[in-house]
């Protein structure tokens, strides 16, 4: 979960910078100083680009991450974080990618889980049979 919180912190920091820059830009807009407004708009564009770049890098990193039983919750939270901080038209893409990745993981490891469940069921059945014979 440390990775998720680190990414959440970074995105919140970027959002804080964007909000602060917007406030400063609006202040200069009231003063009607065009050159300073342009400087803040450029800074704002740069911060938005930085945020989008961070989200893209996070998505690429997640797509390369192997999903295990230990990290599946954190990966899902990271995908939801991307969805939360990205543009609306990307949301379906992220959900589709997440579902496909989870589905591939379940196909890959599903047989193993099924075999374990069958093995446990067989053991329980043998214990019940043994107890019935003893009674």
* Domain span including residue 58: 2-134
Which one has a higher pLDDT value, 116 or 64? 64
Q: Which two tokens stand for residue 1?
A: 């979960």
- Share above pLDDT 70 across residues of the chain, in percent, rounded to a whole number: 79
- Give the C-alpha separation, 70 to 107, whole Å: 17
Which pLDDT score, from 0 to 100, does residue 20 have? 94
- Give the C-alpha separation, 48 to 131, whole Å: 68
Read off the pLDDT of each residue in 111-131 and give the average, rounded to a whole number: 74
Read off the pLDDT of each residue in 8-36 and give the average, rounded to a whole number: 90
**Whole-prediction pTM value?**
0.61
CB 108 within 8 A of CB 67: no
Which pLDDT score, from 0 to 100, does residue 13 have? 95
- Structural domain total, the chain: 1
SS3 content of the chain, % helix, strand, coil (to 5): 90, 0, 10
Least confident interval from 32-41, 62-71, 86-95: 86-95
Read off the pLDDT of each residue in 66-75 and give the average, rounded to a whole number: 81
Report which secondary-structure segment, H or E, holds 5: helix 2-31
Q: Which two tokens stand for residue 36?
A: 């300073």
């Amino acid at each position: 979960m440390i990775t998720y919180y680190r990414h959440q912190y970074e995105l919140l920091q970027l959002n804080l910078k964007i909000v602060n820059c917007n406030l400063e830009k609006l202040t200069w807009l009231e003063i009607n100083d065009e050159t300073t407004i342009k400087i803040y708009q450029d800074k704002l564009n740069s911060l938005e680009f930085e945020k989008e770049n961070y989200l893209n890098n996070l998505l690429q990193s997640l797509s390369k991450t192997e999903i295990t039983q230990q990290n599946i919750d954190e990966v899902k939270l990271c995908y939801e974080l991307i969805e939360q901080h990205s543009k609306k038209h990307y949301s379906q893409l992220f959900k589709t990618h997440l579902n496909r990745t989870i589905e591939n993981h379940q196909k890959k490891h599903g047989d193993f889980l099924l075999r374990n469940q069958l093995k446990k069921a067989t053991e329980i059945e043998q214990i019940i049979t043994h107890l019935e014979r003893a009674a």
